[in-house]
Amino acid sequence: MTTRMLGAPITRREDPRLLAGQGRYVDDIGAGALEVAFVRSPHAHARIVDIDVTDALDVQGLVAIYTHEDLPGRVGEPLPLLIPHPALTHGRTPCALAKDEVNHVGEPIVMVVATSRYLAEDACDRIRVSFDFDPPVVGIENARDGAQLVHDDVPGNVAAHLVQEVGDAAAAIDAAPNVVELDLDIERSASMPMEGKGVWARWDSDDRSLRVYTSTQASTSVRAAVAAKLGLEADRVEVVAPDVGGGFGVKIVHPWPEEILIPWAALTLGQPVKWTEDRREHFVSSAHERGQLHKVRAGFDDDGRLLGLDVTFWHDNGAYTPYGIIVPIITSTQLLGPYKPGAYRVEFFSLYTNTVPVTPYRGAGRPQGCFTMERTMDAIAQHLGLDRTVVRERNFIQPAEMPFDHGLTFQDGRPLIYDSGDYPASLEKLKKLVGWDEFEQYRTAARAEGRRVGIGLACYVEGTGVGPYEGGFVKVETDGGVVVATGLTTQGQGHQTAFAQVVADELGVPIDKVTVTTGDTRRFKYAVGTFASRAAVMSGNAIAVAARQVREKALRVAGEALEADPRDLEIVDGVVQVKGAPGSSVPLATVAVLSNPLRYAFDEETQRATQFASPADPDRPPVAEGDSPGLEGTGYYSPPRSTFANGMHAVIVETDPDTAEITVLRYCVVHDCGTLINPRIVEGQIHGGVAQGVGGALYERMVYDDAGQLLNASFMDFLMPYSTEVPAVETDHLETPSPLNPLGIKGAGEAGVIPGSAALASAIEDAEGFRITRMPISPSELHHLRVQHELASSAEKGLEA
Amino acid sequence: MTDIPADEPLHEVTVVVNGVPRAAAVPARRLLSDFLRHDLGLTGTHVGCEHGVCGACTVLVDGRPIRSCLQFAVMHDGAQVTTVEGCSSGDGGLGPVQQAFRDCHGLQCGFCTPGFVTTITAYLDENPQPSEDEAREAIAGNLCRCTGYQNIVASVLRAAELRGSTGEVAQ
Ligand code: FES
Ligand code: FES
């Protein structure tokens, strides 16, 4: 019997290549291409008066300079708004090169093409752009105030306004015996993959085709966008996501201006052209996320059960809305987590500011939602003097209540219905893992040593595997190798391993026979992309469907060759054999030959196959109606709706009584993402997510000044955690299979990051004894809060006296 | 405005990379990282920030780790350079540090990985048997956005083990 691959923590098949320095990332490709640099806006809000390129013209190696005026037809029109929504009444997108005005520092104004990047930057240095300044709108308060406008025709800076309500939340809260109110604030961060964006393009004038390599999370959609913008038939455009050095959301946006401009320049100049984003460009021109202000009112009974929840929040969408309002929609629905909120009303405003546009970053609105709900849970516990885990337990949706319909509309436009999950069991595991019930002893002992410690927790539910679909292609070659392709892309999730595991099991072949290609439109044309923790769910299942078709055909063809009923056959280690009589068998390689009536004897396998070939029936066509040559299958998976994973994190922190330094002593994770394809890969995803969660809670923020300058646009000043800042993660897991898909998988990619700020705020609050409402929090901010708190409590004491 | 001569003078730079002498004529301002990647075609060395913070571009010059994005190629004429491509084992398979990363799932997207592999290779030459804390400290100058470092720390320890058992040391 072949060892089962699904669920096996095997090492990754892509690693030897990547470890040997043989990866192929965009900037590794296409030596000798012309190179692009951009003149980007140094101002947050201004009108372009003049662009003077005279001084740049004598730069050695200069090939071309383009401004918006030079862009023909659709190339110069505003970029598409990807996900329109009726509530997004004032969506705005930029042009690929700024037309007349700029709305954030970093917006591209001039594209320079030269024989090297060094020379292109020389030319950029010599281009003079003059501006008339408009007052910049920076920060949610200023945007909300509406005194200054980002876009003249968008009143109040409101891009979108949406209300969803189930029951009468205001009435429920007013009637409740207890009410808490909270103002909660999360700051901006960003995906910040180690590889920035990059595009290479070549027009083949003989073949009349365009090849584009781009560091994207959605190559098929880039292809459609490029074809439409450049007026080419999609069939003449090939887009490949080669090895991609991390994405975390920012590379799902498409087309980025450069994804249109570089192919257009290659087409126009008739030469290969490339652009590699540098780190500063990435900071000021790729997307950010997270910045939101929230106002919460919660009404609850004396046991801590929610009766009504009313949340209003303001979302900073930056200068444009290329990705619609997905992020605030997710916050508004996913903040409910594993709880029954009673009556629920949520309202949000998505606001323009003169800053980098906001699009999903791993977690996509969920960290803010989780922070909002979990801070509320802690506030309820504090109000009633109850243990924080008890309040959560009392509000959990119970396993017997699954599937649970919240009566709301989720990000995919489908009803928000949780498919499965066992939250009480998860919490039980977490309490055990972290030692929740023993913590008070630990605190007492620590206190005796003059140390200040605290424990916190946070729970989340994550809708994963959003539709509409993904596809998979599986083919057995005549040498017995199995090639697999799916259209979605890979940025480090180990798809070449995980999808091979699926195929190895479904087809009964050794895994080293299987080769997987992702994100290459030459190999698979239809796909949605890698985001929303959907790749394993969507492509995993689609590939399983395709593999099952191949298996069925293999058994049919082998059955004819072996004169056996296909139902009596099995495939073991790449050989089709009669169950219980392994002597009667035919290798899959041979079956692949037999399934194609055209059999030139190119290889030994084809020669060998002739012994199995039955004489053709002269009265029937060689390929029967409805059949096709070859041993291959294409399958799609399209779910009715998302599947909901969940998890809970607990964290123990120590805060220094003098310096207010915050140290994470322990970080515990319990997660449930259904059936695991490869536990090692899932664990790695959790580790990486936690690191980003800790970064977002303690270190990372985008610091804009009032003029809209991003003050920390480098790795020197934007503090991403190093190994010394990330705690060791202790994990435990449940596997509650999803009933929605054949493999029972739920997504895992984003999970680790979601509860980071919520759990750390909970622990810091527990250590300090006063409420934490803003994240991230630095030692100096914590120190400041201590001072404020002491002042307030001594004033209170003074009053009492 | 920067003054660039119309014809930038070129300098012949020769380095011994991974044991093989390689040469190219480059302008004085050509970064060592670009020289390795684009003039010599050794694209295993990656560039994550170009301002010396992320460590992705780390290569060994005469056995010592340096950030190739912060140095000019002309500064290293005649040097011995080891890149990730040169961290393989004698027979061309994965070297001990590379193998350790594979064993411990120490990489996801792989973009930061070459800088970690070179850094750790040099570190283990100095400290062949690090403790877990030392291992964590050893990689504390390199950024990774994917892994959360836990498995990279494990990779350092595993690499030490593998080197110990094969008796292999870096050139
Ligand atoms: S690229 Fe050299 S340190 Fe980041
Ligand atoms: S593995 Fe992706 S940045 Fe380290």
CA-CA distance, B162 to B96, in Å (whole number)?
6
- Residues in chain A within 8 Å Cβ distance of B149: 687, 691, 722-723, 726
Angle at A120 between CA A115 and CA A123, to 5 degrees: 125
Helix axes A326-334, A366-384, angle to 10 degrees: 30
Output the domain CATH number for residue B42: 3.10.20.30
pLDDT of amino acid A789: 93
Instruction: Give the residue numbers spanning the domain of B60.
Output: 10-86
Interval between CA A682 and ligand 2 midpoint (Å): 15
Say whether both B72 and B18 belong to one domain. yes
Find out whether the peptide bond into A468 is cis, omega within 30 degrees of 0: yes
Q: Is A689 an 8 Å CB contact of chain B?
A: yes
Say whether both B16 and B77 belong to one domain. yes
Our CA-based measurement puts residue A175 at a distance from the nearest CA of chain B, in whole angstroms, of 46
Edge-to-edge, what's the strand order for the sheet holding A237-240?
A: A62-66, A108-114, A34-40, A273-276, A198-204, A209-214, A237-240
Identical topology for domains A32-134+197-276 and A468-637: no
Phi-psi category of A708—alpha, beta or left, where left has phi over 0 and alpha has psi -120 to 50?
A: left
- What confidence category does residue A529 fall into, taking pLDDT thresholds of 50, 70 and 90? confident
- Name the domain count of chain B: 2
Nearest neighbour of B109 by CB, restricted to A60, A244, A687: A244
Q: Is A494 an 8 Å CB contact of chain B?
A: yes
Nearest neighbour of B147 by CB, restricted to A19, A24, A688: A688
Cα R_g (chain B), whole angstroms: 17
Token digits for A644? 């909901």
Say whether both B79 and B92 belong to one domain. no
Q: Is A122 an 8 Å CB contact of chain B?
A: yes
Ligand 1-lining residues (CB < 6 angstroms): B 47-50, 52-57, 67, 69
Domain edges within chain A? 32-134+197-276, 292-396+408-466+640-792, 468-637
- What confidence category does residue A793 fall into, taking pLDDT thresholds of 50, 70 and 90? confident
β-bridge mates for residue A459, sequence order:
A648
Instruction: For ligand 2, say whether the CB of B108 is within 6 Å of any of its atoms.
Output: yes
Say whether both B129 and B109 belong to one domain. yes
User: Please, what is the average pLDDT of chain B?
Assistant: 93
- What confidence category does residue A29 fall into, taking pLDDT thresholds of 50, 70 and 90? very high
Q: Is A679 an 8 Å CB contact of chain B?
A: no
Q: ipTM score here? A: 0.95
CA-CA distance, A295 to A316, in Å (whole number)?
15
The verdict on residue B94 lying in a domain is: yes
Token digits for A249? 């959301």
- Which residue shows structure tokens 């014809």? B7
CA-CA distance, B52 to B74, in Å (whole number)?
18
Mean pLDDT of B35-45: 97
pLDDT of amino acid B171: 38
Mean pLDDT of A272-278: 98
Please identify, among B86, B109, B138, the residue that sits at the C-terminal boundary of a domain: B86
- Give Cα A121 distance to the centre of its chain: 32
Nearest neighbour of A680 by CB, restricted to B38, B105, B110: B105
Q: Please, which residues have CB within 8 angstroms of residue A401's CB and are 6 or more apart in sequence?
A: none
pLDDT of amino acid A424: 96
Our CA-based measurement puts residue A691 at a distance from the nearest CA of chain B, in whole angstroms, of 5
The verdict on residue B2 lying in a domain is: no
Q: Which residue of B has its CA nearest to A197?
A: B48
What is the DSSP secondary structure assignment for residue A610, as one 8-state letter?
T
Please identify, among B26, B59, B86, the residue that sits at the C-terminal boundary of a domain: B86
Please identify, among B29, B58, B86, the residue that sits at the C-terminal boundary of a domain: B86
| Domain A32-134+197-276, CATH among 3.90.1170.50, 3.30.420.240, 3.40.50.1950, 2.40.160.60 | 3.90.1170.50
pLDDT of amino acid A729: 96
Interface contact flag, A243 B110, Cβ < 8 Å? yes
- Give Cα B112 distance to the centre of its chain: 10
The verdict on residue B3 lying in a domain is: no
Whether A633 shows a pLDDT value over 60: the answer reads yes
Does residue B52 contact residue B70 with C-beta atoms inside 8 Å? yes
Whether B162 shows a pLDDT value over 90: the answer reads yes
pLDDT of amino acid A621: 84
Interface contact flag, B145 A687, Cβ < 8 Å? no
Percent of chain A with pLDDT strictly greater than 70: 98
Read off the pLDDT of residues A445-487 as tens digits, 9 standing for 90 and up: 999 999 999 999 999 999 888 889 889 999 999 999 999 999 8
β-bridge mates for residue A484, sequence order:
A474, A516
Whether B3 shows a pLDDT value over 60: the answer reads no
Read off the pLDDT of residues A348-391 as tens digits, 9 standing for 90 and up: 999 999 999 999 999 999 999 999 999 999 999 999 999 999 99
CA–CA distances in Å: residue B46 to residues A75, A164, A173, A690, B59: 32, 47, 56, 25, 10
- What confidence category does residue A537 fall into, taking pLDDT thresholds of 50, 70 and 90? confident
pLDDT of amino acid A464: 87
| Domain A292-396+408-466+640-792, CATH among 3.30.365.10, 3.30.2020.30, 3.40.50.10190, 3.90.78.10 | 3.30.365.10
Say whether both B81 and B109 belong to one domain. no
Mean pLDDT of A318-332: 96
Mean pLDDT of A595-610: 74
Single out the residue of A496, A430, A512 nearest to residue A677, CA to CA: A496
Q: Which long-range contacts (CB under 8 A, 24 or more apart) does A681-685 make?
A: A681/A12, A681/A493, A681/A494, A681/A497, A681/A498, A681/B105, A682/A733, A682/A748, A683/A731, A683/B105, A684/A494, A684/B105, A684/B108, A684/B146, A684/B147, A684/B151, A685/A493, A685/A748, A685/A749, A685/A751, A685/A752, A685/B108
Mean pLDDT of A286-306: 97
Nearest neighbour of A715 by CB, restricted to B47, B139, B143: B143
The verdict on residue B171 lying in a domain is: no
A 728-767 residues with CB < 8 A to B: 728-729, 752
Is B92 buried (19+), middle (13-18) or exposed (0-12) by CB count in 10 A?
exposed
CATH architecture of A468-637: 2-Layer Sandwich (3.30)
Single out the residue of A536, A560, A551, A599 nearest to residue A745, CA to CA: A536
Q: Please, which residues have CB within 8 angstroms of residue A677's CB and are 6 or more apart in sequence?
A: A6, A7, A498, A501, A502, A536, A540, A743, A745
Does residue A217 contact residue A251 with C-beta atoms inside 8 Å? yes
Say whether both B18 and B70 belong to one domain. yes
DSSP B72-103: BGGGGTT-EEE-GGGGS-TTSS--HHHHHHHH
Interval between CA A764 and ligand 2 midpoint (Å): 29
Whether A187 shows a pLDDT value over 60: the answer reads yes
Q: Which residue of B has its CA nearest to A276?
A: B47
Mean pLDDT of B37-62: 97
Instruction: For ligand 2, say whether the CB of A80 is within 6 Å of any of its atoms.
Output: no
pLDDT of amino acid B2: 45
Interface contact flag, B6 A58, Cβ < 8 Å? yes
Say whether both B62 and B100 belong to one domain. no
The verdict on residue B1 lying in a domain is: no
Say whether both B38 and B97 belong to one domain. no
Our CA-based measurement puts residue B5 at a distance from the nearest CA of chain A, in whole angstroms, of 9
Output the domain CATH number for residue B93: 1.10.150.120
Mean pLDDT of A67-74: 97
CA-CA distance, A351 to A321, in Å (whole number)?
10
Read off the pLDDT of residues B116-137 as tens digits, 9 standing for 90 and up: 999 999 999 999 999 999 999 9
Whether A658 shows a pLDDT value over 60: the answer reads yes
Instruction: For ligand 2, say whether the CB of A23 is within 6 Å of any of its atoms.
Output: no
User: Model's pTM, two decimal places?
Assistant: 0.95
What backbone phi and psi angles, to 5 degrees, belong to A758? -65, -45
Instruction: For ligand 2, say whether the CB of A445 is within 6 Å of any of its atoms.
Output: no
Helix axes B113-126, B96-104, angle to 10 degrees: 120
Instruction: For ligand 2, say whether the CB of A492 is within 6 Å of any of its atoms.
Output: yes
